[in-house]
Homo-oligomer: A and B are copies of this chain.
């Protein structure tokens, strides 16, 4: 069968399955999640064998240590996946909730019922645990899902999906609820992106290149996730000790994640005093600071930044630093160079805190806290499928509610319109 034909078959099956999935009880969905969790533990050895195949290939391909780390599975990670499944089972099922219900003047009861989006496509890169996590969140929210994992993780993903599929069928869920694209051919992604008659949403999870490709080529609605060039602005009135603590946390607690801080903006009136204090502390963590000319002059620990530094998401122990005239320049800089992920101000000024919250255009805007909190767990969503950095449908961490849509339900008693 050609790639296109085989994909159409999968997409049709997923679409058919949505009509059943949307009406499956919470109990059945949870039961299925627990069964998959048990299945992963039971077949741990086989999972590790499949993962080993991927690891051998990746090593042959001379992939980086970081890449190999993301790709590799072990006992602990498999246990982690199983626990993740149980956690999703424990989350409130949003499907069927009526968000609002109001009576209109002629007695129609008009409410908004939460319903699944339908068929969701997830395109992701190396990490095989995304397979299990994405499947569980889509399933719990009544959606069906077509997964396209990175080709390096193909053996792992294929086997994990088999365990999922097997257990979902055993639990009585429809065939096609969770499917993996069974080819590593890049043509498959191109085809998938054209299936707007079958798929309702595409979520690319990965680097900027993947995301841009999907945004530019997809005929299916896309939610962009992830890229975070996050700033912290230290206002003239900031508590400087707290500012340093927050910056160190935002940069060094986990530099490779999207909510880590990548760029600092320092009010000029405090620059001379603050920058050396800050760089001294950051040097304890081996953080390289790349600053503008003013910063370089004030502190010889600061290396000269170039224009590209303002737009770079380092995901590493590097941070850029710019001295700004005032809060307005800081806000303009963020709105120009930021990726609309997470932005923070450190200030004791009430007026400036409000101004920053109002004028900065990003998914999450903080006063006096680390950008590292932008996360479904921290925001009380229980889990997340990604952090949306675009404005349509969902913004910020996407939990189960963000994987739903609504339909209006209207109870009448024979009303007709004048």
A contacts, CB < 8 Å to B = 19, 22-23, 96, 102, 104, 108, 110, 113, 115, 117-118, 196, 200-201, 215-216, 219, 221-222, 239, 242, 245-246, 248-250, 253, 335, 353, 357-359, 361-370, 372-374, 378-380, 390-393, 395-396, 405-418
Contact = CB atoms under 8 A, between A and B. Distances in A.
A373 to B, nearest CB: 6
A239 B414 contact: yes
Contacts of A357: 113, 409
A412 B366 contact: yes
Q: Chain A interface mostly helix, strand, loop or mixed?
A: mixed
A110 B380 CA distance: 9
Contact of A359 (B19, B245, B363, B414): B19
Contact of A416 (B22, B201, B249, B361): B249
B408 A363 contact: yes
B219 A215 contact: yes
Nearest to A246: B416
B416 A370 contact: yes
Contacts of A407: 361-365, 395-396
A391 B118 contact: yes
A410 B373 contact: yes
18 contacts: A19-B359, A23-B358, A23-B359, A104-B380, A201-B392, A239-B414, A353-B411, A357-B409, A363-B408, A365-B408, A366-B412, A367-B411, A368-B411, A368-B412, A369-B412, A369-B413, A370-B412, A373-B415
B370 A415 contact: yes
Contact of A391 (B19, B117, B366, B408): B117
A148 B135 CA distance: 41
